[in-house]
Amino acid sequence: MKALIDRLAGGEILTLEQWQGLFERRTPQDEIYARNLAREICQQHYGRKVYLRGLVEISSICKNDCYYCGLRRSNAQCQRYRLTPEEIFESCREGHALGLRTFVLQGGEDAWFTDARLCEIVRRIRRAFPDSAITLSLGERSRESYQKLFDAGANRYLLRHETADETHYGQLHPPELSLSHRMDCLRALKDVGYQVGAGFMVGSPHQTARTLAKDMAFLQEFRPHMVGIGPFLPHHATPFRDEPAGGLQDTLFCVALTRLALPEALIPATTALATLEVSGRDAALLGGANVIMPNLSPAGVRKKYLLYDNKRAFGSEAAESLRLIHRALAQIGREMSLSRGDHISIAAKEEHT
Q: Give which of 255, 187, 174, 248 is closest to 215, Cα–Cα.
A: 255
Min CB(21)–ligand 5AD separation in Å = 25
Residue closer to ligand 5AD, measured from CB, 205 or 288: 205
- Contact stretch for ligand 5AD (CB under 6 A) within 40-48, 123-131, 232-240, 285-293: 232-240
Contact between 273 and ligand 5AD per CB under 6 A: no
Q: Applying CB under 6 A, which of residues 89, 194, 308, 314 lies at the interface with ligand 5AD?
A: 308
End-to-end CA gap in the chain? 43
Q: Applying CB under 6 A, which of residues 235, 281, 311, 334 lies at the interface with ligand 5AD?
A: 235
Complete edge-to-edge strand list for the sheet that includes strand 54-59: 54-59, 102-107, 133-137, 156-158, 195-202, 226-231
d(CA 315, CA 266): 24
Q: Applying CB under 6 A, which of residues 5, 307, 318, 325 lies at the interface with ligand 5AD?
A: 307
Residue 268: strand, helix, or coil: strand
Contact between 53 and ligand 5AD per CB under 6 A: no
- Contact stretch for ligand 5AD (CB under 6 A) within 115-123, 230-238, 296-304, 331-339: 230-238
Q: Applying CB under 6 A, which of residues 230, 268, 287, 341 lies at the interface with ligand 5AD?
A: 230
Min CB(284)–ligand 5AD separation in Å = 15
CA distances (Å), 28 to each of 35, 39, 85, 280, in order?
A: 11, 17, 48, 16
Residue closer to ligand 5AD, measured from CB, 8 or 108: 108
**Any idea what the Cα angle at residue 138 is, between residues 95 and 272, rounded to 5°?**
70
Residue closer to ligand 5AD, measured from CB, 35 or 160: 160
d(CA 306, CA 60): 8
- Contact stretch for ligand 5AD (CB under 6 A) within 168-176, 226-234, 253-261, 342-350: 226-234
d(CA 169, CA 178): 7
The dihedral region occupied by 139, where left means phi > 0, alpha psi between -120 and 50, and beta the remainder, is: left
Please give the residues from 124 up to 183 whose contact with ligand 5AD meets the rule CB under 6 A: 160, 162
Q: Applying CB under 6 A, which of residues 69, 92, 122, 125 lies at the interface with ligand 5AD?
A: 69
